[in-house]
Amino acid sequence: MIAILDYGIGNLRSAQKALEHLGADARLTADPDAIAAADGVVLPGVGAFGACMQALDDHGLVEAARAAATSGRPFLGVCIGMQLHIEGSDESPDVAGLGVLAGRVTRLPDTVKLPQIGWNEVEVREGSRLFAGLPSPPWLYFVHSFAAEPADEAIVAGWAVHGRRFACAVETGSVWATQFHPEKSGAVGLSLLANFVAACAAVAA
């Protein structure tokens, strides 16, 4: 069972439908016990960093999200869900993130159109489990104006360029996260999600 954190932000159903399409038992839930019992957890997100953290807090899910991300079970953050892993963001300077990953979320340069909306090429780190079996290079769908800058570049699984080179995917232990939307990225995105589902299935076995 894969738990999708239901904290009232964004189109959570699109992530659920994509995972169900792959045969996963994907459930929207705000129940900390269900999240703790899941074989894998997904934290989607769209909008502003501060609003998403506030929504997590309002639904009593900050500690459940942090515990899931550090539990050793597969954990996938998507879009703002990736940014929330980081300690903080320039978009909401007074709001602390989950702090699962060291670093800062910063704004992309104003020399390019923001937000970036559309497809972008991703430079993949060799040996990435997240991107295993995907075309080289994969093209994935982005909607964002800010991007994470992890303190440890060794955890970056994918890079993209929009105004500057930025980390668009991280992979460290059981924690995976993407700035792009795999659920909106067609067959390539489904292949990436299939890798996550396979990791969750290995836990359940």
For the annotated catalytic residues, the residue numbers are 79, 181, 183
d(CA 21, CA 14): 10
d(CA 3, CA 34): 7
Residue 75 in tokens: 């954990």
Strands 146-150 and 165-172: unpaired
What number of residues does the chain have?
A: 205
Give 117: exposed, middle or buried? Use CB within 10 Å, 0-12, 13-18, 19+: exposed
What sections of the chain are H helices per DSSP? Answer: 12-21, 32-37, 49-58, 62-69, 80-83, 186-204
